[in-house]
Chains A and B, each alone.
Chain A
């Protein structure tokens, strides 16, 4: 399935560390230009190692990484630096460094032997700053930034390095939801605008379904699941792969649901939105909601009224009390 927009392909790639069993074996993956790919999998499965291997920093155990149809092992470090850039999880311990200076580090592969920047370098730094919307931060000291801001600055630094492949290790870890969405959106826009290929590792499956073009789901003892999120949901493969005892991935919504243990059965009638949240509440409290049951609750909202066996309640808590008594 190699296409013209393909930039990296792996051939029977095994990753891992010397004198240890391989973390993942026989990976045949493809990264495409202009697309945001999300790498998912439990902790310790080898996501970081896979990213390091794709970046050429870590050598494959077996197999090959082909970058632009040439074995990555044949590139020099300096050549790779101009093609592939990284955003890692380690927080750089920098003091008295401004955002502009940090972004300018990305020009290392291009600057003179003593580190002098050319007008072109400054132009690329400027572009990276504009693309990541951090113009207002340019003179700030790096150690005064919030986590979300710092992540954008690190992405800008990677952009300034001006490669065709961007690899990010858990760029949304430790961020609040708003920042997570912002980073995902930024990366997606960057992939489209710059036609770079971007691969991120993440634990945010729901956001990845929502915001990325391609998923790689690594799991222990199973082939890596690869595909467009929507297609993987449609086929049921994704839900099957990621659902567990405690939670299931809803194939219709693409959202996780907690799997509650079965309890006494109840049926609910009434306005759909109200019925849905009453069902949610009752499931959480140990009941199972079915279409038809011995007991049926009726709900209306505005004003909130729930009737059960000729009793009327005006709040969810009272319903639970009555159910537990009876």
Chain B
């Protein structure tokens, strides 16, 4: 918790303009006599960015935890199983193919982008879930996810190929992943939606614990498997979809954070892992974001680069070292 507060403050302080620590604390506690420039920077840029990092970190880690627990697959996660790619497809349809959802539904831009991404995620996840009912093999499931990821990326590439330069550029920037570009309006859409996702997954907590013994045991203990499947599909599609819509694809948070939580808390108890992954996810994404600002310089690296650079070695070392992960995959 302390670590979380520290990383929040760090995340707000780091950026191309140096803001004294005292001013930040003063601003956060509602002081009005700040330097107006600082107030604008914090209010318009830093705070939304920090909130976005908190939401994305929490939501992505939780999606990863839910998917790993449900599939009993240590390498499951929104990125690996193609759920994020589904979101990309939804966003691409909106920004590149120019399907005007806003005009259709009367929804604002922020809502329509969230909706299309969530629907894209939902579509991919439903196919994966359906396939998982037939395939009970861990590796097959992962391969399936990768195949879906590739197929959706191909569709996105086709749209990229035929689209205008300016929308292409917008889409490209989006695909780098960016926590800083969110407006308060977009946050007003993302926060409640991810919140709903978190509440939905809270409902699945007990069932997931029983699922750790396998599906037959779970059924024999009265776990409503159908309800659970829908809960997982809905909550992770909403969370991963909406986050991907606004922040771009962010790799490795979903797959890595639950493992870090398991290592740190040394338990498989969902009641510990759930809040643990939430907190760790927030902290880690805040730290990654602070690193991405390249402190002391004017550069800002795409967040996806940082999470991938840090996450890939983590997953590799996990595969090589952890015999539990190895035994689960064999």
Interface residue A246 (Cβ < 8 Å from any Cβ of B): no
A88 touches B224 (CB 8 A): no
When C-beta atoms are compared, the residue in chain B nearest to A107 turns out to be B221
Residues 60-94 of A, flagged 1 when their CB comes within 8 A of B and 0 if not, give: 00000000000000000110111011101010111
- Contact, CB under 8 Å: A105 / B202: no
Binary CB contact string for chain B from 200 to 219 against chain A (1 if under 8 A, 0 otherwise): 00110110011011101101
- With a cutoff of 8 Å between Cβ atoms, the chain A residues found around residue B205 in the complex are 114-115
| Identity of the chain A residue whose Cβ is nearest the Cβ of B223 in the assembled complex | A108
Find out whether the CB atom of A113 lies under 8 angstroms from the CB atom of B206: yes
A to B contact number (C-beta, < 8 Å)? 81
Q: Measured between C-beta atoms, what is the minimum distance from B274 to chain A in Å?
A: 10
Query: Could you say which residues of chain A place their CB within 8 Å of the CB of B212?
Result: 92, 94, 97, 105
| A57, A85, A96, A113: the one within 8 Å of B266 (CB) | A96
Q: Are A115 and B270 in contact (CB under 8 A)?
A: yes
Asked if B222 is an interface residue, CB under 8 A from chain A, the answer is: yes
Q: Does A136 contact B (CB under 8 A)?
A: no
Q: How far is the CB of A308 from chain B (nearest CB, A)?
A: 58
Point out the residue from B72, B209, B216, B271 that lies within 8 Å of A105, measured CB to CB.
B209
Quick check: B221 and A81 within 8 Å, CB to CB?
yes
Q: Which residue of A lies closest to B322 (CB)?
A: A95
Q: Nearest chain-A residue to B218 (Cβ)?
A: A108
**B208–chain A nearest beta-carbon distance, Å:** 9
A90 touches B220 (CB 8 A): no
A95-B324, A114-B202 known; A57 vs B219 contact (CB < 8 Å): yes
Q: How far is the CA of A78 from the CA of B224 in the complex (A)?
A: 9
Contacts of B220 in A (CB 8 A): 55, 57, 80-81, 84-86
Number of residues from B at the complex interface, CB < 8 A: 28
Judge if A109 is at the interface, Cβ distance under 8 Å. yes
Q: How far is the CB of B205 from chain A (nearest CB, A)?
A: 6
CB distance from B164 to the nearest CB of A (A): 50
A115 near B206 with CB under 8 A, answer yes
Write out, one digit per residue, whether chain B residues 281-320 have a CB within 8 A of any chain A CB (1) or not (0).
0000000000000000000000000000000000000000
**B268 within 8 A of partner (CB):** yes
Q: Is A106 an interface residue (CB 8 A)?
A: yes
Which residues on A sit within 8 Å (CB–CB) of B266? Answer: 96
Residues 197-213 of A, flagged 1 when their CB comes within 8 A of B and 0 if not, give 00000000000000000
| Bound CA span A143–B262, Å | 15
Residue contact B268 to A95, C-beta cutoff 8 Å:
yes
The answer to whether B183 has its CB under 8 Å from any CB of chain A is no
Interface string of B175-215 (1 = CB under 8 A from A): 00000000000000000000000000011011001101110
User: Which residue of A has the minimal Cβ distance to B329?
Assistant: A93
Pairwise interchain contact B216-A88, C-beta atoms closer than 8 A: yes
For A169, the closest partner residue in chain B by CB is: B216
Q: Say yes or no: B268 contacts A105, CB within 8 Å.
A: no
A84 / chain B contacts, CB cutoff of 8 Å: 220
Q: Does residue B269 face the partner (Cβ distance < 8 Å to A)?
A: yes
In the complex, A239 has a CB within 8 A of chain B: no
Evaluate contact between B210 and A108: CB separation under 8 angstroms: yes
Residue of A nearest to B73 (CB): A93
B327 at the interface (CB under 8 A from A): yes
Residues of B within 8 A of A243 (CB): none
- Known contacts: A86-B216, A90-B216, A108-B210. The answer to whether A96 contacts B267 by CB under 8 A is yes
Q: How far is the CA of A173 from the CA of B222 in the complex (A)?
A: 26
Considering only CB atoms, which chain A residue lies closest to B224 in the complex?
A77
> Which residue of B is nearest A106, CB measured?
B221
A94 to B270, CA, bound (A): 12
User: Whole-angstrom distance between the alpha carbons of A113 and B210 in the complex?
Assistant: 12
Contact A105:B221 (CB < 8 A) given known A96-B262, A97-B212, A111-B206: yes
B268 touches A114 (CB 8 A): no
Instruction: Report Cα–Cα, A206/B267, bound state, in Å.
Output: 42
Which residues of B sit under 8 angstroms from A88, Cβ to Cβ? 214, 216-217
CB distance from B212 to the nearest CB of A (A): 6
**Chain B contacts for A57, CB-based, 8 A:** 216, 219-220
A81 to B223, CA, bound (A): 9
Q: Which of B203, B217, B270 contacts A92 (CB 8 A)?
A: B217
Kindly identify which residue among B210, B217, B324 contacts A86, using a CB–CB cutoff of 8 Å: B217
**Does A161 have its Cβ within 8 Å of any Cβ on chain B?**
yes
**Which A residues touch B209, using CB under 8 A?**
105, 108, 115
CB of A101 within 8 Å of the partner chain: yes
- Complex Cα distance, B268 from A52, in Å, reads 28
Which residues 229-250 in B have Cβ within 8 Å of A in the complex? none
| Residue of chain B at shortest CB distance from A98 | B267
Asked if B135 is at the interface of the complex by the 8 Å CB criterion, the answer is no
Q: Which of B202, B210, B224, B270 has the largest count of A CB atoms less than 10 A from its CB?
A: B210
A80: chain B residues at CB < 8 Å are 220, 222
Whether B327 pairs with A93 at a CB distance below 8 angstroms is yes
| Known contacts A77-B224, A92-B212; A143/B217 CB under 8 A | no
**Chain B residues at the A interface, C-beta cutoff of 8 Å:** 72, 202-203, 205-206, 209-210, 212-214, 216-217, 219-224, 262, 266-271, 324, 327-328
A-B contact pairs, 14 of them (CB 8 A): A77-B222, A77-B224, A81-B221, A86-B216, A88-B214, A94-B268, A95-B262, A97-B268, A105-B213, A108-B209, A108-B221, A109-B222, A114-B205, A161-B221
> What would 16 more interface pairs be, CB under 8 Å, given A52-B216, A94-B213?
A77-B219, A77-B224, A78-B222, A95-B262, A95-B324, A97-B268, A101-B268, A105-B209, A105-B217, A105-B221, A106-B221, A108-B222, A111-B206, A113-B203, A113-B206, A115-B209
Give me the 7 closest cross-chain CB pairs, A-B, nearest first.
A81-B222, A115-B206, A95-B324, A108-B221, A78-B222, A86-B220, A97-B268
